[in-house]
Each structure stands twice: as structure tokens, then as C-alpha cells.
Amino acid sequence: MNTNNNIYTIIYTTVVVILVAAILAFTSMALKPKQEANVKAEAISQMLTAAQFAEKSELEALGNDKILSKYVESIDKALIVNGKGEIVDSLDKAKSQIYTESDLKAQNYLIKKGNADALRLPVFIFNKEGSKVTVIPCYGAGLWGPIWGYLAFNEDLTTFAGAYFDHASETPGLGAKIKDDPAFRAEFVGKTTDLSEDRIFNIVKGGAKEGQTNAIDAITGATMTSKGLDVAINLWLQAYKPYLESGVETIRQKAQAAAALAQQADSLAVSDSTIVAE
């Protein structure tokens, strides 16, 4: 075959392109399970960090398999709720089914559209030291790209147990502190949400007011990232508000029932002691 004519060039180029495409496709397929495991382990380690099981670096040192095992042994249930607070499905905890960043992005789009029926929001409830810790995600826009994270609540569903955030491209030493600065994340611990307010939680430039329990200080020099995180947290808390309010009401009713039973028990005890005295 004449290697200098156009037909040879076309055939040669076509064969090379097909071979390269086949190699790339094979490599992508071979690496896909590993990539998916990495993404899943990363999201789980962020949730566990928010719930104060361990520091992120400690979890990363365990490796993917042990992170997944830690999730399976710690998770009580993983629910899916809609924008009305109704439980519509669940995630298979044995298979470590979770929502990754791309899933959160899709839900963020639906939240902004205000389509409550279409929402499928994850709720992760962990067993920790004899109590329940509920973890929910948030997603939004920072200064240079997407930001996301997880908010962990104590059993009262209003008090923060912890938080963890990540980003795509925030400025190192400034906006990136939402991820890199443990002191910023620690500000959430013990703070509370106020579901009766339009702004359920606040990240305040210049510092939160003294005594304000539903607010923390913004990151100095990272106004836009702090504002973006503030918007993301409030947007997602509003989406979860029906579920959280329902949970808080259930807790209140259980407390009232327990108090009533205790009062009845006290009354019976007093009656018994009176009878014995007589």
C-alpha cells in the first residue's frame, strides 16, 4: 500500500483514533468502581466529621473500606423526605447508599424552583454514644464555585452537634477556611436554629450579636464565601423545615406524655403513702 496517499492516511488515522478511544473507555470502566468508592467515602467522612465521630484527617487515614464500615455500623436509618416533610423512601444503609455532590446539586435546583413534591432530600440518623445525631446536607455557591456540606443536630433537632463544609475553588487562607479551619466549624457546636424565623440561621459579617444563639461570626476577609454559605444553609434549612418541625413537635409530645406519666406516678405514690399512714 502506498503510504503517501490520502486513503492510507485516513485509514491509519481512523485506526489510531479507534484504538485510543477503546483504551480510554477501558481505563474509564476499570477505574469507575474505584472513583465511585472514593467519592462515596469522601461524602461519608464529611458526614461523620460533622457528627463529631472523628476528625476528617483521622477518618481519611482509615481508608475507604473502613470508612464505609464505620458508616454501616453507625447509621441507624437513612431516609428520603419531600419538601412537605413526608418520608417517601429510604436509602439502603447496608449498601452505604448516600447522596454525593452531584445529587445535592440536583436537589438544590429543585429547592430553588420551589417544587416541594419533587424534592427527595436525604436525612441521615446516626447512633452515637446512646443518642441520635441527625445529619442533613446543604449546597450552594461560593465566590468561585460550588460549596456544600453537612449540618449535624442533637436529638432535639434544633441544637447543632457539629458541621463540615467543602468547596470546589474558594480562595486559600480566606474562603477555603470553611473547610480548612476547625475553629470556624467549631462555632456551630451548641448553636441553635430558629425555625420560627425567616432566617433560620445566620453567618454574620462583623460578628454575631451577644447572646444570639442562631448565629456565628463570618470568616474575616471572606465576605462572599461566608454570604454564599449563609444563603445555602438557610435555603436548605427552609427546605427541611417541615421535617424538622414535625420532629420537634413529636419530641415535645413525647416529653409531655412522659411528664404526665411521671405526675400520675407521683400522685399514686402520695396516695399510697397516705393510705399507709392512716
Mean pLDDT of 79-106: 94
Mean pLDDT of 68-75: 95
* Buried residues in 44-72 as b, exposed as e (16+ CB within 10 A): bbbbbbbbbbeebeebeeeebeebbebbe
The DSSP annotation for 77-96 comes to EEEEE-TTS-EEEE--GGGT
Of 49, 96, 89, give the one whose Cα is nearest residue 69.
Answer: 96
Q: CA torsion angle for 230, 236, 242, 245 (degrees, to 10)?
A: -40
User: What's residue 1's pLDDT?
Assistant: 54
User: What's residue 230's pLDDT?
Assistant: 97
* Contact predicate 94/66, CB 8 Å: no
pLDDT digits (tens, 9 = 90+) for 136-183: 999 999 999 999 999 999 999 999 999 999 999 999 999 999 999 999
pLDDT digits (tens, 9 = 90+) for 22-35: 666 666 565 455 66
User: What's residue 16's pLDDT?
Assistant: 72
User: What's residue 13's pLDDT?
Assistant: 74
> Does the structure show a pLDDT above 90 at 53?
yes
User: What's residue 256's pLDDT?
Assistant: 85
* Contact predicate 48/61, CB 8 Å: no
pLDDT digits (tens, 9 = 90+) for 185-225: 999 999 999 999 999 999 999 888 988 999 999 999 999 99
> Does the structure show a pLDDT above 60 at 276?
no
Give 37 or 159, the one with higher predicted confidence. Answer: 159
| Rounded Cα gap, residues 42 and 245, in angstroms | 30
H or E stretch at 104: helix 101-113
Report CA Rg, the chain.
25
Q: How many CB atoms lie within 10 A of CB 236?
A: 24
User: What's residue 121's pLDDT?
Assistant: 97
Mean pLDDT of 264-268: 72
What's the chain's average pLDDT? 89
